[in-house]
Amino acid sequence: MRLLIAVCYLSTLSMIAQDWPNLTKYQQANSMLTEPSSEEKRVVFMGNSITEGWLLANPDFFSGKAYVNRGIGGQTTPQMLLRFRQDVINLNPKVVLILAGTNDIAGNTGPMTLEQIRDNILSMVELAEENGICPIVCSVLPAYDYSWRPGLNPNIKIPKLNGMLKSIADQKGILYLDYFSAMADERNGLPKDLAEDGVHPTKKGYEIMEVLANEAIKKVLTQSQ
């Protein structure tokens, strides 16, 4: 009996491991999305738990708009890159906001250099452009430390990564959405009222992001007409 349980457990782990980018999470939701009309300006929000949690913290931001949330908690840029076609390109959006990188710095899926993170985000940008989608490169949000992986100095690494991401945007002539400057405290972290755990925004934190995101989307859609 114990052997059978062990075999079943290992089989389950194997199945989970095979879906490393979590492609199954949005498969059904994607299949239910109709082809956007010529008037619809669909926008996909691609990201990790900060993006996924946005929908939970303030669903009104997404309802009634052509906004599609495709955040998955804990994900790193290589995972997002693997699901970019399914969860972004195949949805035929006009715009994609790419908010990624903090979990890479935290080492959620293993060690990553800032250059590797930048290159994965650049690959997503290039995929979007090749498919007629306007990419918006978002700054990584401030974080002084990670409660689940302390001592990694994200308050130093995130500003460096953001500089690299801004360079991508500048070189490609696309929009860089700077959440960091609007939300960071004097330690390059998130103040308590914007993120109780120092990483994931509160409703007040998301409200700041919403204003900036709406402005960025409006600007990009206007420029693309």
Query: Is 13 inside a domain boundary?
Result: no
For the domain that residue 62 is a member of, what is the CATH number? 3.40.50.1110
Residue 86 forms part of a structural domain: yes
Give the range of the structural domain holding residue 61, as residue numbers without chain letter: 39-224
Answer yes or no: is 128 within a domain.
Answer: yes
Is residue 26 included in any domain, yes or no?
no
Instruction: Please determine, for residue 67, whether its predicted confidence score (pLDDT) is greater than 70.
Output: yes
In a domain, 158, yes or no: yes
Q: Which residues pair with 137 in a beta bridge?
A: 98, 176
* Within a domain: 7: no
The one-letter code for the residue type at 207 is E
pLDDT of residue 18: 87
| pLDDT reported for residue 206 | 99
Which of 5-9, 53-57, 83-87, 151-155 has the least mean pLDDT?
A: 5-9
Confidence of residue 70 (pLDDT cuts 50, 70, 90): very high
pLDDT of residue 208: 99
Q: pLDDT tens digits for 82-104?
A: 999 999 999 999 999 999 999 99
pLDDT above 50 for 14: no
Does residue 45 lie in a domain region? Answer: yes
Q: Is residue 217 part of a domain?
A: yes
pLDDT over threshold 80, residue 144: yes
Q: At 17, is the pLDDT very low, low, confident or very high (cuts 50, 70, 90)?
A: low
Count: domains in the chain: 1
